[in-house]
């Protein structure tokens, strides 16, 4: 265990001393992010990205304060570039449009939604009515953004339920309900949540008021930066895989094998080294883009866990390539190709929504697509809890690839006979 760790640390150190590797690991993604950011006008203020005008259908059957407020969010000026909302009235017809790939998602706000959250007159708790987002599976990013906006809205409302009056104050300030209505609603909510008048409620209030409305505005860099970082993460994992074969030819692997170190410890150490290097690369890129581009990646916990899952999935690919290839040069070539193919498939250059459905489906084999989906969710204000799909996918991907690689590898490839 200790030796596995020591071998991993050694590899991390070696990777960060290799100038060529550093250029591809850190400089290239950073410069490309910068370049694409300039091209898309991120730094000059206008926002005409590949990710724009996501077609979404709003079916508002609630027609009450909160339902209207959510519909307003989608039609707001702030989201005018990002969203192309259409108003529907029939849920079935709207779902039909999704099935025909006419839109990215339908948001159905059922009747009685507002009533279930803010009871107007009686203090009787109504059964919670849920908003439905009917997503188009072939437009995962677009649908993901719609989901994230709804999640964000709901979490605001949920926070509002906890710190009732302040939330209602916000609704008042934004002109969505009248002060008279607010008084009634506030009283009702306070009654429902008698226990919650503590400091923690206050803290939540502060959070929600400082973050007011900001995350929903989508920064194109929040798509470009992870896209580039993930693409060059594929370089790092193939670099790491290549180092296994390189250690064999440079004699350090045989030397390790004649020391009192088991081959499991050695292979484990090499894999751990890839994982460490990839994680370091991602975290440095995320740190740099936060610092230099003021990019908000979102929930830090979510970002870290997603990075680890993405690197795990990518490391699986690095191992697989290494197990299949025979020489370090082969790993380098295959790794470079995979980096580009996965970069394109995974949406690093062009949003997946603009690709044919077959390619979108195929993109699911890349860690890039899943992780990018996750990063988009986070940038739009989602948290770790919204990431179960990408994280599960990335971890399973890594696991399957590890198993296959170990089977292919065997000890035969590690020690030449």
* Residue choice 133, 257, 283, 288 for contact with another protein (CB under 8 A): 257
Parallel, antiparallel or unpaired: strands 132-135 and 105-109? antiparallel
Whether the CB-CB separation of 203 and 96 falls below 8 Å is answered with: no
Q: Which segment (73-81, 93-101, 216-224, 252-260) binds another protein by CB under 8 A?
A: 252-260
Q: Quick one: which of 91, 110, 254, 268 contacts another protein (CB under 8 A)?
A: 254
Alpha helix stretches (DSSP H) within 211-262: 221-249, 252-257
Contact 166/203 with Cβ under 8 angstroms? no
Q: Is 354 in the site for another protein (CB under 8 A)?
A: no
- We find the least distance from the C-beta atom of residue 3 to another protein, in angstroms, to be 7
CB of 267 to another protein, least distance (A): 14
| Member of 261, 290, 333, 354 binding another protein (CB under 8 A) | 261
CA atoms within 13 Å, Cβ hemisphere of 44:
9
Is residue 18 involved in binding another protein (CB under 8 A)?
Answer: yes
Nearer to another protein, 226 or 240 (CB): 240
Q: What is the DSSP string of 113-125?
A: HHHHHS-SS--PP
Number of residues that bind another protein (CB under 8 A): 21
Minimum distance of another protein from residue 415's CB (angstroms): 7
Q: Which of 208, 188, 192 is nearest to 200 (CA)?
A: 208
Among the listed residues 130, 255, 326, 361, the single contact to another protein using CB under 8 A: 255
User: Which residue in the set 1, 20, 128, 258 belongs to the binding site for another protein (CB under 8 A)?
Assistant: 258
Using CB under 8 A as the binding rule, whether residue 412 contacts another protein is answered as no
Judged by CB under 8 A, which of 46, 120, 262, 385 binds another protein?
262
Q: Is 244 one of the binding residues for another protein (CB under 8 A)?
A: no
Cα 369 to chain centroid, rounded: 9
**Distances in Å between the alpha carbon of 386 and those of 214, 302, 306, 376?**
18, 9, 11, 11
Cβ-based nearer residue to another protein, 218 or 239:
239
Question: In the set 58, 83, 231, 256, which binds another protein (CB under 8 A)?
Answer: 256
Residue 148 phi, psi (nearest 5): -65, -35
Nearest distance, CB of residue 245 and another protein, angstroms: 15
Rg of the chain in Å (alpha carbons): 25
Q: What is the dihedral of CA 208, 297, 399, 385, to 10 degrees?
A: 10
Q: Which of 87, 211, 406, 415 binds another protein (CB under 8 A)?
A: 415
Output b/e per residue, 25-44; b: 16+ Cβ within 10 A.
bbeebbebbbebbeebebee
Based on CB atoms, which residue is closest to another protein, 13 or 130? 13
Phi/psi at 193 (5° precision): -120, 55
Q: Does position 24 bind another protein by CB under 8 A?
A: no
Q: What residues make contact with another protein under the rule CB under 8 A?
A: 3, 6, 10, 13-14, 17-18, 250-252, 254-262, 415, 417
């Amino acid at each position: 265990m200790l030796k596995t760790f020591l071998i991993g640390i050694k590899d991390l150190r070696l990777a960060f001393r290799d100038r060529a590797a550093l250029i591809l690991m850190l400089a290239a993604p950073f410069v490309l992010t910068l370049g694409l950011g300039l091209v898309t006008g991120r730094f000059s203020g206008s926002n005409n990205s590949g990710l724009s005008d996501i077609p979404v259908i709003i079916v508002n059957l609630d027609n009450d304060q909160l339902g209207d407020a959510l519909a307003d969010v989608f039609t707001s000026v702030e989201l005018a570039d990002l969203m192309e909302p259409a108003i529907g009235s029939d849920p079935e017809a709207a779902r039909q449009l999704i099935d025909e790939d006419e839109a990215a998602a339908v948001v159905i706000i059922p009747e009685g939604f507002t009533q279930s959250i803010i009871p107007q007159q009686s203090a009787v708790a109504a059964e919670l009515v849920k908003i439905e987002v009917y997503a188009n599976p072939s437009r995962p990013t677009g649908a993901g953004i719609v989901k994230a906006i709804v999640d964000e809205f709901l979490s605001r409302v949920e926070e509002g339920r906890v710190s009732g009056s302040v939330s209602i104050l916000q609704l008042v300030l934004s002109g969505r309900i009248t002060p008279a209505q607010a008084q009634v609603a506030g009283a009702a909510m306070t009654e429902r949540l008698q226990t919650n008048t503590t400091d923690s409620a206050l803290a939540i209030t502060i959070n929600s008021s400082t973050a007011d409305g900001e995350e929903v505005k989508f920064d194109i860099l929040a798509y470009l930066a992870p896209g580039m970082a993930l693409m060059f993460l594929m370089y790092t994992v193939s670099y790491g895989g290549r180092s296994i074969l390189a250690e064999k030819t440079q004699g350090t692997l045989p030397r390790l094998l004649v020391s009192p170190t088991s081959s499991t410890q050695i292979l484990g150490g090499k894999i751990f080294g890839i994982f460490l290097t990839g994680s370091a690369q991602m975290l440095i890129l995320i740190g740099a883009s936060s610092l230099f581009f003021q990019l908000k990646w979102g929930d830090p916990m979510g970002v870290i866990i997603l990075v680890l899952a993405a690197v795990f999935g990518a490391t699986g690919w690095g191992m697989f390539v290494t197990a299949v290839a025979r020489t370090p040069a082969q790993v380098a070539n295959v790794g470079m190709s995979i980096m580009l193919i996965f970069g394109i498939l995974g949406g690093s250059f062009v949003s997946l929504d603009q690709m044919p459905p077959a390619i979108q489906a195929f993109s699911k084999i890349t860690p890039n697509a899943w992780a990018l989906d996750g990063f988009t969710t986070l940038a739009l204000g989602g948290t770790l809890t919204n990431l179960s799909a990408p994280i599960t996918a990335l971890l399973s991907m890594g696991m399957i690839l590890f198993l296959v690689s170990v089977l292919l590898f065997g000890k035969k490839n590690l020690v030449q006979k």
